[in-house]
Structure 1
């Protein structure tokens, strides 16, 4: 059974304090959980041979821990200081001036130092968390990893205690003179994501856990 209950409050540090548009900053820890649980891809920022590298990757959250996995041969996937970001775009904001065009979004930034998950039980649990986040129902449906596959996979764990969340969910912020002139349309074009029809690579019927996504 996967546990996804948060215990640590969202308390921004000097490194994660929202300075620009502070009104968009969130203080409720549930806001961080919502962003992480709603998105599918995070961007992992690391230093690799002195060069900043940002890698898109899948992940999963279990309580106060974020799990990231990848090839054990990837030199960029090593324990150390990281910056993990997640962004969900909810709409494009069309303003009466180009300057005030914007986006409605939910975003999270997590800072910390990852650790390598080498305990066999935690590693299997972490892989289950990632799998169930990306493809719910698959851990109990598909074949589980072999020892060889586990050896070829690294799992990093990141504590979620140092994080910030920003959310914009508002109409355009136009200047009064542009509103009065009323020469350009303004509003929000919502953006939503929906799953398509499953494309089978099997003669078996599509299982219920795929159809209900």
Structure 2
């Protein structure tokens, strides 16, 4: 699908002018971002409470789920895993692009790109899809890295959970530019503007027991992020 089709759960109710309708722009965002946050309601020791957890992830626009697949990485021993499978979850991906300084406190804001995906996850059990998902998660961090690594051991695979979330129920919002002050606030003469932000990478640091030259895929990734 070329357009996002938010459901009532993912349709913005405030500042709808910031909503993004193009699916390609959401895919570009999740391609840039490195961390997703998974929100789930868990029950432990007789109490129920929400938990939001950061996790590594990757997206396959042509994945087997509706409108593509968002893969999430976790541990099979994590307490939130059972809760995530039992009910719908919410995953957010956000990139902070700037700080907006207005002439009044109410007008201060942030420039950002943010996607929200809601739905029911499934555990990826098929060995081929599981390997595909893990490779994509690794390559999302450092493109080309997965092909250079040894195969995972049985113990490692047994400790690793891969969840798949359909991209069907998704929305995106973004803000860019400076403050939106009223003429009265402009007349106060207070400075206003925005501070652009970007993520950068420093040169790779080899492990103390690594004596090889830094591989091309790592060098390339650091340059791309820098």
Provide the residue aligned with 1:81 in structure 2: 88
Ranges in structure 2 where 5+ consecutive residues have no aligned partner: 62-67, 222-226
In the alignment, which residue of structure 1 is the partner of 2:158? 151
Higher helix share: 2
Kept in 2: contact 1:8–1:161 (CA 8 A): no
**Equivalent position of 1:3 in the other structure:** none
Stretches of 4+ moved more than 4 A in 1? none
Per the alignment, residue 41 of structure 1 pairs with 35
- Helix, strand or coil for the counterpart of 2:146? coil
Runs of 5+ unmatched residues, structure 1: 1-6
Q: 1:65 aligns with which of 27, 47, 69?
A: 69
From 166, 171, 175, the equivalent of 2:182 is: 175
CA distance in 2, matches of 1:123, 1:66: 13
Residue 110 in structure 1 maps to residue 110 in structure 2: no
Partner residue, 1:54: 52
- Find the aligned partners of 2:151 and 2:181 in 1 and give their Cα distance: 54
Query: In structure 1, how many angstroms separate the alpha carbons of the residues matched to 2:75 and 2:95?
Result: 26
SS at match of 1:96: coil
CA distance in 2, matches of 1:145, 1:41: 23
TM-score for both structures, normalised by structure 1: 0.93
TM-score, scaled relative to structure 2? 0.88
Q: Give the equivalent residue in structure 1 for 2:216.
A: 208
Q: Distance in 2 between matches of 1:194 and 1:77?
A: 32
Structure 2 match to 1:4: none
The one-character-per-residue Cα deviations of 1:160-204 (angstroms, maximum 9, x if unpaired) are 00011000012101111011221x111110001111011101111
In structure 1, C-alpha distance between the alignment counterparts of 2:81 and 2:2, rounded to whole Å: 26
1:95 pairs, out of 86, 92, 102, with 102
How many residues align structurally? Answer: 206
- Alignment RMSD: 1.1
SS at match of 2:100: strand
